[in-house]
Structure 1
Amino acid sequence: MTLRPADDFDAVVTGDRVDPDPAPPAQHRARPVTGRLTALDAWWGRVLSTPRRQRIWTWGGPLFVTLLAAALRLWHLGHPSTLVFDETYYVKDAWSLHNLGYEGSWPDNADPQFAAGRTSIFTPSPEFVAHPPLGKWLIGLGMAAFGPSNPAGWRISVAIVGILAVLLVTLLARHLLKSTLLGVLAGLFLALDGQAIVMSRVSLLDNFVMFFCLLGFGAVLLDRSWSARRLDDWVRRRDRAGRDLAWGPVLWNRPWLLVAGLMFGLATGVKWNGAFFLAIFAVYTVVVDMVARRRAGVEFWGTGTLFRQGPVTFLLMVPIAAAAYVASWTGWFVTRGGYYRQWIETQGGERWKGVLAWVPDVVQNWWHYQAGIYAFNVGLSTPHPYQANPLLWLVMQRPTSMYYLGTNQGQGGCTADRCGEAIAAIPNPLIWYAAVAACLYLVYRLLRHREWQIGLVLTGVAAGYLPWLTYLDRTVFQFYTIAFEPYLAIGLAAALGHVLGGRLDDETRRLSGIRVVGIVVIVAVLLTAFYYPLWTGTQEPFSFINLHYWLLSWK
């Protein structure tokens, strides 16, 4: 079945008459035409009455939300001029990585010196790091471009990928939901959300994971259309030949699966939770292949998919993902000073024996390092004041405070008795809670109508969220949810498309839908304006800051 949310404002319009799409499925057909459009529909029809205007809207809408995202993320990016939260690790590691090819060591209390411009105080002694290097290489590019002593240079890379993610969400949602309006809504929600803004203004790794996984998601979306055409072509040829359809084709020609594997591999090269997306979307691809073959009249559960196409899908996605991950460690391989780089040669490490004795020492050293990273990550349970149990992520129980500086009257321009500068990764409350509620509704629609578009969006949410439920004892944070927040934004836009209704619906119902969507957008914009000082470290009276902590657990 095909998802048909409101294409309302994107239709081909002639004057006040709107031509609906042909022959929608029965359960999705609009209500009988009432004879009149709402004033807003009629006005928008006149606005889009020429192909040129339609093209302007098609590209102008995504461009607008992207520019809005850029303004919210780039304004005063260099403030604060100190390392905040885990920037103390990633920014300094990025700069030593840029200079040495691996992460060097920094002296104690290096943060104030680094922020003051003494950026070369690292030593070639290697440092154990808990995450792969790719995200830090990207941070280092920004520092190389703007200078390591420029705080905006520390953060420009995460800001750029955060801006591009808004554009990407807009385009993917438009393609998926067949509506420029809903695509722009999805991009707008991500552009306005506080957690997405903060994660694009603080130099952590998670924005890169989100971005590469979103690119992989887009590749999987494009693969669906590509593979469906190949399967249809095969079925037509088999039908003309009069042969049995039981086995189905083995589809090697699926370039978008290669792209998806590459993107998920790059995400894993930033943080290992990128591998969750690789595994879940690989399984998703096999499942939808099985469903597509069943609908085409070929074998469903047997060897046609599971034992023929399944391994091919694995070979298309996993090896290139593994190669991308290994390539992210190039600096470690081509230098000799990295952590465990000479574990066997100089640190007394034991070489592998037996059938693995032929493996080069450098590979054995690297594998030992990976084992150390795995042990550290799965065993991390150090208490932290802002840790958040994954079971409570969806209710936003404990957003992460990235930075706080308290001042008294007369300090730094403070005119109240007490002021503060805060960077709190609190999502826009309306967008977050509405998106979670929307996804629960989409689960119902998936079960009721089997809409594949909804299934794909929910798979993105599941890939970013469900695996963390197996690490309830690990120290984790609310901001990890940025990895699946784009799919929440798309899900909210899809649900609002159903609320909006169709342009041919009863006028009263249509007006109600427009009002609801309008109220959601307006309140979301107002909340972003209200919370923006707390997302950017702007000095405000403490009493004003306190108004933003709606739950005691947010403080």
Structure 2
Amino acid sequence: MSAGRLVPPMQGTALLGWSGPLAVALFGGILRFVRLGEPKAVVFDETYYVKDAYSLLQHGVERMMLGDAKNPIADQRLITDNLDIFQQCAKPVDCASFVAHPPLGKWMIAVGEWMFGMNPFGWRFVAALAGTLSILVLARVARRMTRSTLLGCLAGLLLALDGLHLVLSRTALLDIFLMFWVLAGFACLVADRDQARGRLVGWYASSAINEMGPRLGFRPWRLAAGLCLGAACAVKWSGIFFLIAFAVMSLLWDMGARRALGLREPYRGALAYDLPGGFGAMALVPAVTFLTSWTGWFATAGGWGRNWEQATSAGPGFFLFDSMRSWVAYQRQVLGYHSGLDEYHHYMSEPWQWPLLLRPVSFWYPADLPPSACGAAKCSQAVLGVGTPALWFGAALALLGLVVWYVSSRDWRAGAVLLAFAVGWLPWFYYAIADNRTMYLFYMIPVVPFMVLAVVLMAGLIMGRQDASPTRRATGAAVVGAFALIVLINFWWLHPVLVAETITQTQWWARMLMRSWVTAAPK
């Protein structure tokens, strides 16, 4: 058994394999950090997460605060000019605030507030950092999947040029953190796949053959994947879809590796030797990670439903039992909240509308800009949460191409990308049909990296293998390069309405590529 069969060699040097993705990530970071403090106001749902994050810094739990969510500029001034924004309560429990999401994403926002203060740059800093790092992670994992540094850099570039990814990287919402941890978990599993197969090849070459194969020993990448996917769940509950799907996918990869090695009992070998460690890494580690993210709630008296006085009324055993009972009751309340969330919103949309960008979300559009702001009769300043259409429409075609590719070849890369896209998109259909839940386009952000991977995998097919004819390679490179250029131009055109640049209202309207992108013409 040759190593190349189970673990194909990487093209190019290790130096280029890092320098190229780092350069692309630097480009994406510039787009995300320049003017990060604009607009100087609380944007969209930042009004909740910014204050919750600050409360975590001050009290370890989320507490009720002052502030008018309907007036983002006044809300921002309240926060930055008066940091005593918490309600005054006789007891900590009286200020307990019911929150619908786990704490980790808010703790990440709090890091920026701790480093740079309670201002727009501070509360958006870690979101921009996570968005930038996700470009690097995607470039590296695409390189590993395709064995091509060029295609890896293409993946990072396309993600850097996606409008929705840019907007969420510049906004203190939770979704960019969910995307980051899901992508990081996937990347760790791809690295674990290579490492596990390398160990199988080494065993095959140096040990006596048996029917089931060897134990593969400690697998740090799989452990890291469990940590990352547990962190995804600790940002938003929807991370559980990816955790379950990726855990099954990892086990199937183990089975496939043992079968490709020619073992007589590959499935028994995987179940006997790979499943126990996989359960620890992909079940126990995520559970501990999720529970650890609630440390502030367990350690303080002011959390929602904490029952601190009751929990501390007896010994340590009762404290642990009663605390867990209160925590489980809290999680049930959160589940009920999400199941019944059906309040109308101007920019709500349905899952089947998302891939075609039929209804993006207006994060910011002040209605009182003076004419002097842009030198025209009417001015606009907008943050529109929308993907880059050229990329998204191209990704829709690429995903259809992956379906054909996977059916015809069972290529693991196509299967992995399709699985990730499916578990990040299809579950929302249930909530749309069964619960009529309020949902938004930006719920798609965890699958955007996998949409990019679909494009990159199809680009690899178009360009052909390294041993293809020069004409084929040149033609394919021209097609792929033209597509990347179109995405770049489309992104450049939309950029002013993604980052709150002040432009004329005529210029703003020209960038509303579909009239469904706006509720009504601004007055």
TM-score, normalised by the number of residues in structure 2: 0.88
2:460 alignment counterpart: 497
2:240 alignment counterpart: 275
| 1:248 to partner: Cα distance | 4.3
Q: Which moved more, 1:55-64 or 1:361-370?
A: 55-64
Q: Which moved more, 1:214-223 or 1:505-514?
A: 505-514
Superposition pairs for residues 201-350 of structure 1, below 5 Å? 201-235=170-204, 239-240=208-209, 245=211, 247-251=212-216, 253-298=218-263, 303-306=268-271, 309-342=274-307, 345=310
1:514 alignment counterpart: 477
Specify the SS of the correspondent of 1:549.
coil
Specify the SS of the correspondent of 1:104.
coil
Residue 398 of structure 2 is aligned to residue 429 of structure 1: no
Specify the SS of the correspondent of 2:363.
strand
Please list the CA deviations of residues 308-363 of structure 1 after superposition, one character each: whole Å capped at 9, or x if unmatched: 643442223211100000110111111111111117839xxxxxxxxx99961111
Q: 2:120 aligns with which of 148, 151, 155?
A: 151
Q: Which moved more, 1:432-441 or 1:83-92?
A: 432-441
| 1:4 to partner: Cα distance | 12
Superposition pairs for residues 48-59 of structure 1, below 5 Å? 57-59=16-18
RMSD between superposed Cα atoms in Å: 2.8
Retained in 1: the 8 A contact 2:67–2:85?
A: no
Distance 1:283 1:503, change over 3 A: closer
Please list the CA deviations of residues 253-309 of structure 1 after superposition, one character each: whole Å capped at 9, or x if unmatched: 222221111110011111111111110001111222222222333356864444664
Q: 1:441 aligns with which of 401, 405, 427?
A: 401
Q: Which moved more, 1:105-114 or 1:183-192?
A: 105-114
Please list the CA deviations of residues 473-531 of structure 1 after superposition, one character each: whole Å capped at 9, or x if unmatched: 22111111111111111221221122223565445444332221221122211111111
1:537 alignment counterpart: 500
Instruction: State which structure, 1 or 2, has the greater radius of gyration over its C-alpha atoms.
Output: 1
Would you say how many aligned residue pairs link Structure 1 and Structure 2? 498
| Cα distance in structure 1, aligned partners of 2:477 and 2:308 | 64
Distance 1:300 1:463, change over 3 A: farther
Q: Which moved more, 1:368-377 or 1:249-258?
A: 249-258
Q: Percent identity?
A: 38
Distance 1:208 1:76, change over 3 A: same
| Cα distance in structure 1, aligned partners of 2:466 and 2:251 | 37
1:88 alignment counterpart: 47
Retained in 2: the 8 A contact 1:400–1:426?
A: yes
| Cα distance in structure 1, aligned partners of 2:411 and 2:478 | 26
| Cα distance in structure 1, aligned partners of 2:131 and 2:393 | 21
| Cα distance in structure 2, aligned partners of 1:300 and 1:469 | 39
Specify the SS of the correspondent of 1:268.
helix
Q: Output the amino acid matched with 1:263.
A: C
Q: Output the amino acid matched with 2:260.
A: R
Q: 2:77 aligns with which of 109, 115, 120?
A: 115
| Cα distance in structure 1, aligned partners of 2:271 and 2:102 | 33
Residue 493 of structure 2 is aligned to residue 526 of structure 1: no
Superposition pairs for residues 68-79 of structure 1, below 5 Å? 68-79=27-38
Please list the CA deviations of residues 426-449 of structure 1 after superposition, one character each: whole Å capped at 9, or x if unmatched: 111111111221122122112212
Q: 2:334 aligns with which of 365, 373, 387?
A: 373
Q: Output the amino acid matched with 1:526.
A: I
Retained in 2: the 8 A contact 1:209–1:274?
A: yes
Q: 2:343 aligns with which of 370, 375, 382?
A: 382
| Cα distance in structure 1, aligned partners of 2:483 and 2:5 | 26
| Cα distance in structure 2, aligned partners of 1:120 and 1:527 | 44
| 1:390 to partner: Cα distance | 1.3
Retained in 2: the 8 A contact 1:165–1:214?
A: yes
Distance 1:344 1:445, change over 3 A: farther
| Cα distance in structure 1, aligned partners of 2:280 and 2:264 | 21
Specify the SS of the correspondent of 2:112.
helix
Superposition pairs for residues 467-478 of structure 1, below 5 Å? 467-472=427-432, 473-478=436-441
| Cα distance in structure 1, aligned partners of 2:161 and 2:440 | 21
2:521 alignment counterpart: none
Q: Output the amino acid matched with 2:507.
A: F
| Cα distance in structure 2, aligned partners of 1:146 and 1:268 | 27
Specify the SS of the correspondent of 1:374.
helix
Retained in 2: the 8 A contact 1:198–1:424?
A: yes
| Cα distance in structure 2, aligned partners of 1:155 and 1:190 | 19
Distance 1:375 1:248, change over 3 A: farther
Which protein is richer in helix relative to its size? 2
Higher relative contact order (CA 8 A, sep 6+): 1
Residue 163 of structure 2 is aligned to residue 194 of structure 1: yes
Q: Output the amino acid matched with 2:302.
A: G
Unaligned runs of 5+ in 1: 12-53, 347-355
Specify the SS of the correspondent of 1:338.
coil
TM-score, normalised by the number of residues in structure 1: 0.83
Distance 1:430 1:235, change over 3 A: same
Distance 1:494 1:3, change over 3 A: farther
1:487 alignment counterpart: 450
Unaligned runs of 5+ in 2: 312-316, 519-523
